[in-house]
Structure 1
Amino acid sequence: MNILENIKKRFIRLSRGQRKVAQFVIDNPTLVANHIASEVGQLIGVSESTVIRFCYAMELNGYNELQEEIKKELVQDGNTESGSEVIPKKIDNTINELMNRDVTNILNTLELIDPHLFAKTTKCLHESEFVYILGFRQSAPSATYMTSILKNYRKHVKQIQHDMEDIVQQLSNIDSKSLLIIIGVDHLFEDVLTVAKLAKNKNAKVVSITNSTLSSLRDYSNALFAIHQHKQNSLETNVSLFSLINAMIEGMIAQNRRQYNDFQKTNEQIESSFTY
């Protein structure tokens, strides 16, 4: 199926703005092949972001891929006339495509989040006496990030390291006053499931952030949040993941902003007393 046929097939599932882009592409393929996304958006009367999000809705990697597919079709049809003078590309459009892709992934992740579960999670993050954060292998940097930010606002925050001795020690401390946050957006290993199961057996609250709503962690989690992935790209996953982590922490702070601001100021005063 060529690109124009694919657009027609998916037309009904597009948003109103994306339908405008779709109709313009169908009617003016030569023009789209020879003009950058911002210029096409101006001609249609929509934002450049809408043009690029249309490309993602078509499961393309961006506007450049849309142009390549259209050019292939024009060559096959023997229609290579530009239809109008080509406007020089003034700027590199890569950064626009990449950052709009990030925005799209964050918005798609937002659609997967249950507001009620999110509210319960931020409240639990506020009320739990101890917070443990687990993220092994590719998820470890995200776990480290969340741990470091939380430590700026509250005490009793611990990252569980991928070391058997540390895992055993931390699991022995976990109890009903504890919250375990599991970040597992890569391949889910058996050791992560084991930790989740043991924590659940000790009546701890368990919140999981994964790359699938069907993750096995669901059986041991009080709340599970899935990160949207576009063509399983790990870099794109991290953007949505960090955004969700920030939202959770902001939700926690909103429970008692003065308390967390005072804790942060105290930390800053202590740190400023030392000479490095």
Structure 2
Amino acid sequence: MIDTDKQDLMKNIQLRYPRLSKGQKLIAEYILKHYDKAAFMTASKLGLSVGVSESTVVRFAIELGYTGYPKLQKSLQELIKNKLTTVQRIELTNHYPSSESALRGVLKADMENIRVTLEKIDIKTFDDVVNMIFQAKKIYIVGLRSSTAVAEFLGFYLNLLLDNVHVVTYGISDLFEQMIDINEDDLLLGIGFPRYAARTIDALNFARSRGTKVVAITDSLLSPLAASADYALIAQSNMASFVDSLVAPLSVINALIIAVGLREKEKISKVFTNLEEIWAEFNVYSHKDSI
């Protein structure tokens, strides 16, 4: 396949347009005008929408330099995933005609996200990040908007294992005020997925300007977070609809927590022994007699 990135796809279609067949030109025109809809259409449905056969759609993808329609579709999805508004995402949810189809569709999509993440994640980078967590004087975690839940989850468990973790959040003080003392001895873990929060990117750039090591947990090496980081842990987050899929990112973060915990087994045992006593004393968890 040609080296067609998401920024060059439209130019590629325009350049090849003059030598396309009549049917292929109809496909090109539809994609140029409605790429946000085309990205989630099967080859058959796209062909039906423009009045050509499924095989014409496949030949069109090959003419653009792709090995098949799925590769073209993936490029279209990469193109739009950071540009779609929430309203547009809701419109795309119409391909789930029932609650059952939504359940099955979303679970299957999340399974695929985890499968692809497992195949693509760089194990050496993962090990390097674990090492940096132990080397850092202080660890800052930034994840805003839909990534807030994931950032808080990571911060909650790392705080049980380590005593130098700070989750940067929206609040009374600005993000930069919470990071005022960040320096070259520290580590910043930035979490962000489409649509990327601009303030998270600002935080990563601010940390790098202070000489801080920056790790991005994001969906692609083309992500603006990855571009602002020294290391990137990639977790696929292809959306099923207007709700961001954070299943694979959360799985990577679970693995990160466990990898850190494996090096602190003795401390973990003491911490949770103390916590169990506290939880029991203050009835933190419900205790029902077994039947």
Q: Give the TM-score band, short-chain normalised.
A: 0.5 to 0.7
Q: Structure 1: 5+ residue runs without aligned partners?
A: 10-56, 58-64, 69-91
Query: After superposition, where does 1:40-119 map in structure 2 within 5 Å?
Result: 98-119=106-127
Shift of 1:220: 2.8
Residue deviations 1:83-105, cap 9 Å, x none? Answer: xxxxxxxxx78756543432221
Q: Which amino acid aligns with 2:147?
A: S
Match of 1:147 in 2: 155
Structure 1 residue runs of 4 or more that deviate by more than 3 Å after TM superposition:
1-6, 92-101, 229-236, 266-276
Q: Secondary structure at the match of 1:173?
A: coil
Match of 1:178 in 2: 186
The match for 2:238 among 200, 214, 230 is 230
Distance in 2 of aligned mates of 1:272 and 1:263: 14
Mapped pair 1:192 → 2:235: no
Distance in 2 of aligned mates of 1:134 and 1:108: 25
Match of 2:130 in 1: 122
Distance in 2 of aligned mates of 1:200 and 1:271: 40
Shift of 1:164: 7.0
Query: Could you say what the CA RMSD is over the residues aligned between the two structures, in angstroms?
Result: 3.5
Mapped pair 1:248 → 2:252: no
Distance in 2 of aligned mates of 1:204 and 1:102: 33
**CA distance 1:231–1:271, shift in 2 (3 Å):** closer
Q: Which amino acid aligns with 1:191?
A: R
Distance in 1 of aligned mates of 2:175 and 2:134: 24
Larger radius of gyration: 1
Match of 1:132 in 2: 140
TM-score by length of 2: 0.57
**CA distance 1:223–1:101, shift in 2 (3 Å):** same
Mapped pair 1:215 → 2:223: yes
Identity among equivalent positions (%) equals 23
Mapped pair 1:202 → 2:210: yes
Match of 1:259 in 2: 267
**CA distance 1:161–1:95, shift in 2 (3 Å):** closer
**CA distance 1:233–1:253, shift in 2 (3 Å):** farther
**CA distance 1:173–1:270, shift in 2 (3 Å):** farther
Q: Secondary structure at the match of 2:216?
A: strand
Shift of 1:135: 1.1
How many residues get paired? 200
Match of 2:4 in 1: none
Distance in 2 of aligned mates of 1:148 and 1:109: 24
Q: Secondary structure at the match of 2:220?
A: coil
Q: Secondary structure at the match of 1:182?
A: strand
**CA distance 1:192–1:96, shift in 2 (3 Å):** closer
Asked if structure 1 preserves the Cα contact closer than 8 Å seen for 2:220 and 2:235, the reply is: yes
Q: Which amino acid aligns with 1:179?
A: L
Match of 1:33 in 2: none
Match of 1:41 in 2: none
Shift of 1:239: 0.9
**CA distance 1:130–1:233, shift in 2 (3 Å):** farther
Distance in 2 of aligned mates of 1:128 and 1:221: 16
